[in-house]
Structure 1
Amino acid sequence: MTGMIERRLPGWPTLPDLFGWVESGFPGAHVVPGLHGIRIEEHLTDGTFVLRAELPGIDPDKDVEITVTEGVLTLTAERTEETKEKHHSEFRYGTFARSVQLPSGAKGEEATADYKDGVLTITVPVPEMQKGATTIKVRHG
């Protein structure tokens, strides 16, 4: 009797392929070949926006770039494969990128980033915005 993997229909994806679809969208959805998404968590607490990104196996000093442009934080990382032998690998290599809209008033120029145990944490100060209504007087011409 053959195993489940051997009985799959030709052209049907294997289980690891299905996990790849869940992580990166359906095939053909990427506009840039070799560009992968980054898994993130984000939250706003006590005047601080915090973004945590899963980036295991990278050197943050050489392989990570963080930019803020017009209120959008963009994180780009690259992981290169060092082995020369053919083997089975489900690791992703290449360029990884993710962009998020920062909250209104966020001070991207004061952002900080720390890397520990494969997780990059980016912290951006967000001062409290004035709440309440402003009354505007109408001038007579």
Structure 2
Amino acid sequence: MTDLMKWFDTRRSPMDLIERLFEGETGPSAIRVEEMVDGNTLVVRAELPGIDPEKDVDVTVADGVLTIKGERQEKKEQKDKDSYRSEFRYGSFIRRLPLPSGVQQGDVTASYKDGVLEVRAPLPDKGQAETSSKIPITRG
């Protein structure tokens, strides 16, 4: 798949394309992800270093879309007798990824270790995949 085809991947939502156009994949609020299939499970890994996943991150599944949303707040202070220095790094982030058809939201799990959020979604059996059926046309 060429880079151009990845940019216009039809599985991506229009909002994802707009976010990528204005923010870019490496913008300050971007979340970098890896998507892979491990056996019959879709695995999404997201880089989220320096956050508390219990307080700062929400992972939801709705309408066939996985959403990773959160806020980062990092504070570093240096106090001396005659000076004070503070560096803040904060901001909210969101990433939406389409899930394959038939993924059950109740089966999706998430874990966090060493700055990486891992979301696992069991894929439906190919036999359970949605099938198409011909719709009869009647003359009126």
- TM-score normalised by length of structure 1: 0.63
Q: Is 1:64 aligned with 2:57?
A: yes
Matched to 2:107, the amino acid is E
Q: Does 1:53 align with 2:53?
A: no
**Which is helix-richer, 1 or 2?**
2
Structure 1 alignment gaps of length 5 or more: 1-23
> Cα distance 1:64–1:134, how it changes in 2: closer, same or farther (>3 A)?
closer
Matched, 1:105 2:110: no
Say if 2:82 is the partner of 1:116. Answer: no
RMSD of the TM alignment (CA)? 3.3
How many equivalent pairs are there?
Answer: 109
Structure 1 residues 25, 122: closer, same or farther in 2, change over 3 A? closer
Q: Where do 1:1-141 residues align within 5 Å?
A: 29-30=22-23, 36-83=29-76, 85-87=85-87, 93-130=90-127
CA contact (8 A) 1:108 1:125 kept: no
| CA displacement at 1:135 relative to structure 2 | 7.9
Which segments of 5 or more consecutive residues in structure 2 lack a partner in the other structure? 1-18, 78-84
Superposition TM-score, scaled by structure 2 size = 0.64
Distance in 1 separating the partners of 2:36 and 2:74: 32
% identical aligned pairs: 45
Q: Measured at CA, do residues 93 and 105 of structure 1 come closer, stay the same or move farther in structure 2, by a change above 3 Å?
A: same
